């Protein structure tokens, strides 16, 4: 008790690790943003190809988020509320896209969509094309983004006491009405965060997209192409613009999803 | 509290006879817990309490009536209708939880009126009824408020009004007093008693507190480890426990296995005279600690069992002292106030007389 003020060595270890991690993440990014000249940045954003690719990146990632929201929400609810045999297995299946190497995802999806597969034949007859199309990009982005949406929203649902739903049912509301009157209003923030997570993951995807659709070109593919063709100096400005636009979008959504002061 | 619409009953209730809730061999199997063959019959308009320690399965019984717990086997009838497989929203059963379970995104009024749109009853009559309830529980000043900033007592009032607003045939109460501060507890306890008298709805309350049961309950069932140990009127269970568990649960500190001869009970060699011969198949005696009298002088044996004993132990329990008395191989526990302890000048190892009135010895 004598030297009360003596700080435990773990405190210094924690400080050291925090500083290391923050520098490790921020330093390369800041350097990249600072290195291109203002002139380069201005020229780059005036290039219609660049604008188109960034727009395509945001559009396809947004679609992946929307699709995840539609097909992932009921599933996340089921995982949060029900115990069933094989639940652990289903949960691991959801996590699979996180672990599979990205090009493998692209190859797997192309394998289904090709002429040699019955599904691919049906899809082509209906007019759905995966190879080199926006549809193909959205498909792989949904594939890689879905687990992030489902896991986030599942946690959000779990945070809502099941007793609220029990009371709602006892007051006469059906399961569906209970979902829309109680569960959804309490979980929409988690859903928005889930969509952000899913979109963020989708926007950063390169490996899977480059196999399914080199063209039309999403921003990461364009950055890669400019890097291999012209080098660092030409790829950096595109990267900077992608980062800036994405940061702004995510920041906006994030602010929107924060609880208001009053309710906190 | 202002008196409400003089004719609650005329508005909504016609006199119903017979059992309101009937549970037949209800069984629920969960990992690590089994609720075994519960049989219950609760009368219309009754205030029934389900009493038991934590983990006895009380809430599970409640939730199976509400339709939100998975039933393994058995049947549940409400108002003569088999509701075993009905979804919760078609059962017409209200539920009030200990943690209130108010919808946090809605105001007090929105919480209260949540279920009204699913009501088949005349909307005008419903409105009148809800207004009467709000007035009865003094919630008018709060109706526009968010439920987040209410006190525990206020939250529980809102929760009660919300459940009663849809005019359920049964109100289930899951430890409605447990989460409240002591001053709100008594308040809500009074509210519950008054409400039950006024609305004439069947109340089924789960509690682990025998004091709540004594104050509120008309009949009670004691649940222990997923099994009902005894069902009866509250005074019956209090005075004539049927099992050692119930005896201890209702505060009988002295429970002994005994053999019986005529009007005598023999506990570990100690003979105790009873008021009358016990019935068949009795194997325990139980005595409340407050019925064990300690005296320094020999008192007359008129209707009393008086034996010599020694004080083995005195424990300070705050409001009273628990005194353990030994006579032969038997140890009795008695309660004394600080003043009595002082005036009797008792201390450990002292010789005293122990007196027990024959009529205070319970057999089962």
- Contact call for residues B163 and A166 (beta carbons, < 8 A): no
- Nearest alpha carbon to residue A167 among B178, B81, B200, B62: B62
Least Cα separation, residue A158 to chain B (angstroms) = 15
For the range B339-343, what are the long-range contacts, defined as Cβ-Cβ under 8 Å and sequence gap of 24 or more?
A: B341/B314
pLDDT tens digits, one per residue of A12-61: 999 999 999 999 999 999 998 899 999 999 999 999 999 999 999 999 99
Residues A149, A154, A155, A160: is their CA dihedral positive or negative? positive
Token match 């209800």: residue?
A: B26
CB < 8 Å to A166, chain B: 63, 66, 68, 88, 95, 101
Residue B2 touches chain A, beta carbons under 8 Å: no
- Cross-chain Cβ contact B66/A163 below 8 Å: no
What string of DSSP letters covers A14-73?
HHHHHHHHHHHHHHHHHHHHHSS-HHHHHHHHH-HHHHHHHHHHHHHHHHHHHHHHHHHH
Pairwise CA distance, residues A238 & A223, whole Å: 6
Confidence at residue A2, expressed as pLDDT on a 0 to 100 scale: 52
**Which residue is closest to B167 within chain A, CA to CA?**
A171
Confidence at residue A260, expressed as pLDDT on a 0 to 100 scale: 62
Residues of chain B predicted below pLDDT 70: 1-18
Residue A170 structure tokens: 């006892």
CB < 8 Å to B99, chain A: 161, 163
- Cross-chain Cβ contact A171/B89 below 8 Å: yes
- Cross-chain Cβ contact A167/B95 below 8 Å: yes
Confidence at residue A3, expressed as pLDDT on a 0 to 100 scale: 58
Q: Could you tell me how many CB contacts below 8 A there are between chain A and chain B?
A: 65
Map out the domains of chain B with their CATH numbers.
8-239 (3.40.50.300), 252-363 (2.40.50.100)
Residues of chain A predicted below pLDDT 70: 1-4, 260-264
A240: CB partners within 8 A, 6+ apart: A32, A33, A36, A41
**Which residue is closest to A186 within chain B, CA to CA?**
B105
Residues on A contacting B at a C-beta cutoff of 8 Å: 161, 163-164, 166-175, 181-182, 185-186, 263
Pairwise CA distance, residues B74 & B62, whole Å: 14
Confidence at residue B99, expressed as pLDDT on a 0 to 100 scale: 94
Confidence at residue B192, expressed as pLDDT on a 0 to 100 scale: 95
Confidence at residue B5, expressed as pLDDT on a 0 to 100 scale: 42
Q: Is the ipTM of this complex over 0.85?
A: no
Alpha helix ranges (H) inside B67-181? 108-112, 123-136, 152-165
């Amino acid at each position: 008790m004598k030297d009360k003020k003596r700080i435990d060595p773990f405190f210094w270890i924690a400080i050291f690790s925090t500083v290391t991690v923050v520098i490790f993440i921020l330093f390369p990014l800041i350097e990249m943003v600072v290195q291109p000249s203002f002139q380069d940045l201005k020229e780059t954003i005036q290039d219609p190809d660049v604008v188109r690719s960034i727009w395509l990146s945001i559009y396809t990632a947004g679609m992946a988020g929307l699709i995840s929201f539609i097909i992932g929400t009921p599933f996340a609810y089921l995982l949060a509320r029900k115990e069933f045999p094989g639940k652990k297995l289903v949960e691991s299946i959801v996590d699979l896209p996180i672990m599979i190497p990205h090009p493998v995802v692209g190859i797997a999806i192309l394998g289904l969509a090709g002429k040699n597969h019955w599904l691919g034949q049906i899809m082509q007859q209906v007019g759905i094309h995966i190879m080199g199309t926006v549809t193909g990009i959205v498909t792989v982005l949904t594939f890689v983004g879905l687990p992030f949406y489902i896991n986030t929203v599942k946690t959000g649902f779990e945070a809502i006491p099941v007793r609220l739903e029990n009371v709602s049912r006892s007051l006469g509301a059906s399961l569906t009405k209970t979902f829309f009157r109680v569960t959804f209003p309490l979980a929409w923030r988690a859903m928005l965060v889930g969509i952000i997570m899913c979109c963020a993951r989708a926007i950063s995807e390169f490996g899977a997209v480059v196999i399914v659709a080199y063209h039309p070109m999403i921003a990461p593919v364009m950055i890669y192409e400019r890097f291999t063709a012209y080098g660092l100096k030409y790829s950096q400005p595109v990267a900077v613009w992608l980062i800036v636009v994405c940061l702004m979008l995510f920041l906006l959504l994030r602010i929107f999803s924060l609880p208001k002061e009053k309710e906190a | 509290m202002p008196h409400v619409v003089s004719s609650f009953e005329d508005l909504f209730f016609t006199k119903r006879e017979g059992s309101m809730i009937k549970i037949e061999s209800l069984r629920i199997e969960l990992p690590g817990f089994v609720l075994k063959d519960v049989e219950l019959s609760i009368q219309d308009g009754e205030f029934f309490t389900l009493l038991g320690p934590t983990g006895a399965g009380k809430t599970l019984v409640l939730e199976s009536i509400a339709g939100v717990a998975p039933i393994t086997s058995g049947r549940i009838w409400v108002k003569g209708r088999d509701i075993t497989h009905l979804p919760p929203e078609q059962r017409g059963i209200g539920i009030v939880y200990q943690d209130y379970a108010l919808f946090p995104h809605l105001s007090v009024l929105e919480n209260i009126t949540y279920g009204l749109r699913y009501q088949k009853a005349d909307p005008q009559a419903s409105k009148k009824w809800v207004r009467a309830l709000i007035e009865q529980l003094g919630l008018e000043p709060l109706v526009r408020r968010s439920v987040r900033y209410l006190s525990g007592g206020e939250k529980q009032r809102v929760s009660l009004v919300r459940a009663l607003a849809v005019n359920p045939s049964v109100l289930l109460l899951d430890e409605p007093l447990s989460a409240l501060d002591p001053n709100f507890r008594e308040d809500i306890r009074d509210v519950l008693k008054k409400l039950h008298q006024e609305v004439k709805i069947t109340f089924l309350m789960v509690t682990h507190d025998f004091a709540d049961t004594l104050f509120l309950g008309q009949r009670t069932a004691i649940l222990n480890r997923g099994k009902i140990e005894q069902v009866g009127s509250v005074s019956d269970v209090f005075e004539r426990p049927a099992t050692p568990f119930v005896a201890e649960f209702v505060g009988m500190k002295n429970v002994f296995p005994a053999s019986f001869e005529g009007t005598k009970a023999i506990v570990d060699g100690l003979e105790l005279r009873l008021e009358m011969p016990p019935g068949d198949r009795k194997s325990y005696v139980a005595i409340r600690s407050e019925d064990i009298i300690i005296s320094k002088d020999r008192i007359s044996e008129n209707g009393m069992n008086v034996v010599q004993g020694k004080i083995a132990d005195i424990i300070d329990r705050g409001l009273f002292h628990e005194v353990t008395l030994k006579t032969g191989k038997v140890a009795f526990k008695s309660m004394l106030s600080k003043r009595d302890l002082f005036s009797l000048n008792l201390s450990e190892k002292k010789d005293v007389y122990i007196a027990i009135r024959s009529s205070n010895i319970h057999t089962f």
